[in-house]
Amino acid sequence: MKIAAHPKIIRVGSLVVADALFFSLTNPMKVASWLLIVGFGLAAISLYYCLRGAVRVASWYGLPVSRRYQRRVAEVAGILIGLLALQSIGQLSPRDVAVLLPLLLVAYLHSSYGRGRNLTDS
């Protein structure tokens, strides 16, 4: 099987082409709001694939990768895109980040400890 014909390569390549076309042909100051949402969607998918690729490369060097890591990649991509959206409309301040970081830490600890407890109860 040729590497260029691999489904994942085709998926990532088409995403790169879609990003290049969309972001080079649109002006965020003049487009409709639904096109901004499409742009954030494309950015979120691209960021997810980049982070997922970074985790995959890290797994080649010994990092154990499970479904939990893939879920965390999606969560991190969502958080970063949310921060990007807040920053792009001028609503992100250092105080917002100072409030969000402890909340995210509590959510992470809650999900981690909750998952471990469920495994030992059964």
pLDDT band at 117; cut points 50, 70, 90:
low
| 114, part of any domain | no
The pLDDT of residue 23 is above 50: yes
- What's the pLDDT score for residue 122? 44
Q: Report the number of distinct structural domains present in the chain.
A: 1
Q: Using alpha carbons, list the distances in angstroms from residue 64 to 57, 68, 69, 121.
A: 11, 10, 9, 24
Residues 6+ apart with CB under 8 A from 3: 9
| 121, part of any domain | no
| 83, part of any domain | no
| 99, part of any domain | no
Its domain, for residue 27, covers 3-66
Q: What tens digit of pLDDT does each residue of 32-46 get?
A: 989 989 999 999 999
| 26, part of any domain | yes
Cα angle at 83 between 82 and 87, to 5 degrees? 120
| 22, part of any domain | yes
| 72, part of any domain | no
- What's the pLDDT score for residue 82? 87
pTM (2 d.p.): 0.74
